[in-house]
Structure 1
């Protein structure tokens, strides 16, 4: 007896996310036959799936804080730091541990950048200068003193040392207000 058969050809993704072409046959006796490079896997248990999902979600919640930031470059600049364009010669303008920056024209915004706080992370640079994902929170106290500014953000030597091993190099950064 010859069975009636309907064939459907379709694209599927394998375990390596590669497209493969499979043929699915529906036989009149309601038997399903699949031809193609199909691999079977045991379904993960619900508990381990939930645990894995929570771990992935936790990772993204902690690591994406800076992912939405802007990209730029940073250099270090040293004293004398006063007077600044934001606060003149006021000695109380500098935050604790001298973690402050001067910003380039793009961030200066006609002086409205004064007092802004940025969180900065080193991404890369020559000879791997970054200190393992370290971040530093800095306060804007000045406009870049060089024209054109050699970087997006000129960091005080103490702020720069918090995220980079190499004080005399330009680094690529990610920053967020």
Structure 2
């Protein structure tokens, strides 16, 4: 039985670590209109939304999931210090990046991007987690 307790303990630790882990990538800005979307068609899901690149989209499995997104810095494509004083937001994935696809990992609505970074930046370094 001690082996079972150790195994159970390892599983608990692994699940806790996966909850708190985040990925790093690029966030870009998506100008309206946001409809139709690949996940919800013409249903309006508000403005705190994002489109995912094909890797994150996973054939629609990520539709309706919430991601916490934090601006961590500039991409050297625009504004050198784009992050705002409130650099973290939560967005719902509502779409797949439109062709030819994202220039990053998440294409944030103009409204959500503006909350965490200067929209003139166009693209930012982000960390994100579900």
- Say what the alpha-carbon RMSD is for the aligned residues: 1.7
The 5-angstrom pairing of residues 109-128 of structure 1 reads 109-125=58-74, 126=76, 127-128=80-81
Matched, 1:100 2:49: yes
Question: Is the CA contact (8 Å cut-off) linking 2:48 and 2:112 kept in structure 1?
Answer: yes
In the alignment, structure 1 segments of 5+ residues that lack a partner are 1-65
Return the alpha-carbon distance in structure 1 between the equivalents of residues 111 and 119 of structure 2. Answer: 12
Runs of 4+ that moved beyond 3 A? none
CA deviation vs aligned residue, 1:34-55 (integer Å, no higher than 9, x gap)? xxxxxxxxxxxxxxxxxxxxxx
- Aligned residue for 1:171, secondary structure, equals strand
In the alignment, structure 2 segments of 5+ residues that lack a partner are 1-18
Aligned to 1:163: 116
Question: Is the CA contact (8 Å cut-off) linking 2:39 and 2:60 kept in structure 1?
Answer: yes
Answer 1 or 2: which has greater helix percent: 2
2:31 to 75, 78, 81: 78
